[in-house]
C-alpha cells in the first residue's frame, strides 16, 4: 500500500513538474519542435526541483508551495505576454522601481482570463495534492531529496557538457535559448553571478541602425525647426478609425493624406524608454536592459542625435510630462548636451493629472509649454514624449473625454486618450512656425484590441508645416509601402544631420 501511495505521489509531482514546464515554454515563445532533447532534459530538471522542494517541506505547506508557484507563473507569463520575452533577472534588478509604479493600476491592465485560469489550476492542484499525497517518513524524504539532487546535477552537467558554451550564451544573452534549455532558476542564478555591467553593455548590437526607410524615401531635409514626438501607445489601427461616423484621429487622418507615413512593427520591449533611447543615441537597443540604466553607456558619442544636431548649429530641447527619475532619464539625458531638459517637476506648479501613481502633465499642457519656448530665427530641435495615452489610459478626467463620454472598458479609455492626443497635437501644429518639420512615431503598441484584434504596429508620420496646412517633406506622399521597424525610424530621423 505504501509503495502504491509512493507511486501516486511521484505521479502527482510529475504532473506538477509538467505544469512548470508548460509555463516555461509559453514564456519563451519557442516552438515545441525545436531542440526536443533540451526540452526533455528541462522537464527532467523540473522534476528534480519538484522532488527537492517537496522533500524539504511538510504536507501542510504544500498549498503554499503551489500558491507561490502559481503566483510566479502569473508574473512571468504576464511579462512574457506583454513584452514578448522571458523575464530576465537583469530586468528585475534594473527596473524594479518602474514595475512598482505600475502596481496600483495593475488590476486595470492584468489579463483576467489568465488570472481565472491560474486560479482554477491552483484549486485543482490543492485538491490533487490533498487527495493523493500523504505525510512522508524521514527515509522517503531523504530518498526524494537525493533523487532530486542527482537528477538536477546530472542533467545540468550533461546539458553543459553537450552545449559547451553556456557562459558564452549567457554573456551574449541568447534570448530565450537559455530559458528554453535550463528554465528560470538556473538562468537567473547564472545572470546574477556572471553578468556585470561590462557584460550587459555587450548586449547592445555593435552595428549601424537599419536604414530601410531612408533607402525608400531618401534622407530627410534640414529645416530650421524640427519637432520629434514620441507618441505614447499610438497604434497604427487608430488612423482612419471611425466610431459612429466620428473619426478617432481627425487631425492625423488629414496629415497622412498630405504628408507621408509608414507602418512600423514596434513590439513593447522593456518599456517606452527603449524607443527614445535608441532614437537619441542612434544605436540599436538591447532587448535585455535599457541604456539609460547603465552608468557606463556612452551618451556623449559624436553619433548621438543631439551631438549631430549641435554640430549642425541646432539648439536641442527635451520635454516629458513625467518624472525625470523614471528609467533614469534625467541623469542619462544630462550627459547628451541638451540645452533644456524639462520633466514634470520642472514645469510651473498648477493643475496636475495622475499617471502611474505620480503627478504628470497632460499632452495639451506639455505642448503649450513647448510653444512658449520656441525661439525665432534660431535652429531648434525639440524632442518630446507624450504620456496621456499610457496604460491604463485613465489620466484624462471625464470632462476631457470627447470620444466616449462614459468610458467603461480599457479600449474606451484608450480611444479617448488617443482622441485627446490628436486634438491637442493639431492645435500645437497649427500654432507652430511655418516650415517646421514634424516627425511623429508611436513608441510601442498599446496591447488594446482596437479593430478586431491586438496590433503590433505603430505609425511613423512625417510632414512639414506650410502656410496653407502641411505637406510631405520628401518626394513621396501618402503611405510608404514596406516592412519597417523602430530602428528604421531612428535612423531616418538621424539622417537629417548625417
Three-state SS annotation for 98-165: HHHHHHHHHHHHCCHHHHHHHHHHHHHHHHHHHHHCCCCCHHHHHHHHHHHHHHHHHHHHHHHHHHCC
Q: Strand, helix or coil at 458?
A: strand
Block means of pLDDT (10 residues each) for the chain, 498 residues, are 58 79 72 59 81 80 82 80 77 77 64 75 75 68 82 69 52 54 74 77 88 93 93 92 90 94 86 89 87 90 94 94 88 92 84 67 90 82 93 84 86 92 95 93 86 78 91 88 93 93
Give the per-residue pLDDT at 219.
Answer: 92
The residue among 345, 302, 304 whose CA lies nearest residue 322 is 345
Angle in degrees, 0-180, between the axes of helices 2-28 and 177-194, rounded to the nearest 10: 90
CA 112 to mean position of chain CA atoms: 20
Locate all alpha helices (DSSP H) within 387-484, ordered by sequence: 410-430
Q: Strand, helix or coil at 49?
A: helix
Give the per-residue pLDDT at 419.
Answer: 95
Nine-digit cell string for 254: 488629414
Cα–Cα separations (whole angstroms), residue 396 to 250, 321, 405: 19, 14, 11
Cell numbers 507618441 correspond to what residue? 231
Give the per-residue pLDDT at 235.
Answer: 92
* Reported pTM: 0.83
Are the C-beta atoms of 291 and 342 separated by less than 8 Å? no
Cβ burial of 27 (10 Å; 0-12, 13-18, 19+) is buried
Locate all alpha helices (DSSP H) within 56-103, ordered by sequence: 62-83, 89-102
DSSP at 409: S
> Whole-angstrom Cα distance, residue 462 to residue 446?
21
Q: Are strands 242-243 and 457-466 parallel, antiparallel or unpaired?
A: unpaired
> Whole-angstrom Cα distance, residue 458 to residue 237?
8
Nine-digit cell string for 274: 527603449
Are the C-beta atoms of 444 and 272 separated by less than 8 Å? yes
pLDDT digits (tens, 9 = 90+) for 193-251: 777 788 788 888 889 999 999 999 999 988 999 999 999 999 999 999 998 889 999 99
Give the per-residue pLDDT at 437.
Answer: 95
User: Which are the contacts of 188, defined by CB distance < 8 A and separation ≥ 6?
Assistant: 88, 89
> Whole-angstrom Cα distance, residue 232 to residue 252?
15
pLDDT digits (tens, 9 = 90+) for 133-179: 666 677 777 887 888 888 877 776 665 555 445 555 555 544 445 66
The radius of gyration of the chain from alpha carbons, rounded to an integer in Å, stands at 26
Amino acid at each position: 500500500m505504501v509503495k502504491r501511495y509512493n507511486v501516486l505521489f511521484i505521479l502527482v509531482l510529475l504532473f506538477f513538474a509538467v505544469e512548470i514546464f508548460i509555463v516555461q515554454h509559453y514564456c519563451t515563445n519557442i516552438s515545441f519542435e525545436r531542440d526536443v532533447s533540451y526540452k526533455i532534459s528541462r522537464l527532467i530538471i523540473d522534476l528534480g526541483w519538484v522532488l527537492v522542494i517537496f522533500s524539504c517541506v511538510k504536507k501542510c505547506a504544500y498549498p503554499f508551495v503551489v500558491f507561490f508557484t502559481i503566483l510566479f507563473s502569473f508574473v512571468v507569463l504576464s511579462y512574457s505576454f506583454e513584452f514578448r520575452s522571458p523575464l530576465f533577472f537583469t530586468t528585475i534588478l534594473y527596473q524594479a522601481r518602474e514595475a512598482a509604479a505600475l502596481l496600483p493600476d495593475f488590476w486595470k491592465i492584468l489579463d483576467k482570463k489568465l488570472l481565472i485560469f491560474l486560479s482554477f489550476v491552483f484549486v485543482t492542484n490543492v485538491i490533487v495534492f490533498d487527495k493523493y499525497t500523504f505525510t512522508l517518513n524521514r527515509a522517503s524524504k531523504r530518498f526524494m531529496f537525493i533523487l532530486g539532487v542527482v537528477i538536477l546535477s546530472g542533467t545540468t552537467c550533461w546539458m553543459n557538457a553537450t552545449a559547451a558554451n553556456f557562459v558564452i550564451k549567457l554573456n551574449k544573452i541568447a534570448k530565450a535559448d537559455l530559458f528554453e534549455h535550463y528554465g528560470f532558476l538556473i538562468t537567473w542564478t547564472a545572470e546574477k553571478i556572471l553578468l556585470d555591467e561590462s557584460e550587459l553593455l555587450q548586449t547592445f548590437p555593435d552595428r549601424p541602425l537599419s536604414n530601410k526607410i531612408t533607402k525608400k524615401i531618401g534622407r530627410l531635409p534640414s529645416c530650421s525647426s524640427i519637432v520629434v514626438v514620441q507618441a505614447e501607445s499610438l497604434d497604427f489601427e487608430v488612423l482612419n478609425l471611425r466610431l459612429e461616423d466620428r473619426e478617432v484621429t481627425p487631425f492625423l487622418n488629414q496629415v497622412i493624406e498630405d504628408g507621408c507615413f509608414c507602418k512600423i512593427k514596434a513590439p513593447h520591449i522593456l518599456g517606452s524608454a527603449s524607443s527614445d533611447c535608441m532614437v537619441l543615441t542612434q544605436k540599436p537597443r538591447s532587448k535585455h536592459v535599457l541604456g539609460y540604466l547603465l552608468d557606463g553607456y556612452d551618451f556623449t558619442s559624436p553619433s548621438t542625435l543631439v551631438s549631430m544636431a549641435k554640430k549642425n548649429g541646432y539648439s536641442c530641447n527635451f520635454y516629458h510630462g513625467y518624472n525625470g527619475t523614471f528609467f533614469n532619464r534625467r541623469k542619462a539625458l544630462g550627459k547628451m548636451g541638451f540645452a533644456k531638459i524639462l520633466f514634470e517637476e520642472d514645469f510651473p506648479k498648477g493643475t496636475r493629472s495622475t499617471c502611474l501613481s505620480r503627478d504628470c502633465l497632460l499632452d495639451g499642457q506639455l505642448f503649450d509649454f513647448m510653444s512658449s519656448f520656441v525661439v525665432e530665427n534660431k535652429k531648434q530641435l525639440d524632442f518630446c514624449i507624450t504620456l496621456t495615452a499610457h496604460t491604463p489610459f485613465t489620466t484624462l478626467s471625464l470632462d476631457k473625454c470627447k470620444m466616449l463620454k462614459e468610458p467603461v472598458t480599457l479600449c474606451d479609455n484608450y480611444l479617448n486618450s488617443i482622441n485627446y492626443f490628436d486634438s491637442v497635437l493639431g492645435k500645437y501644429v497649427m500654432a507652430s512656425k511655418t516650415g517646421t518639420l514634424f516627425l511623429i512615431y508611436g513608441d510601442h503598441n498599446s496591447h488594446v484590441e482596437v479593430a478586431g484584434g491586438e496590433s503590433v504596429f505603430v505609425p511613423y508620420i512625417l510632414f512639414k508645416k506650410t502656410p496653407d496646412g502641411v505637406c510631405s517633406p520628401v518626394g513621396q506622399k501618402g503611405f510608404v509601402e514596406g516592412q519597417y521597424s523602430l530602428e528604421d525610424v531612428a535612423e531616418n530621423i538621424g539622417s537629417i544631420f548625417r
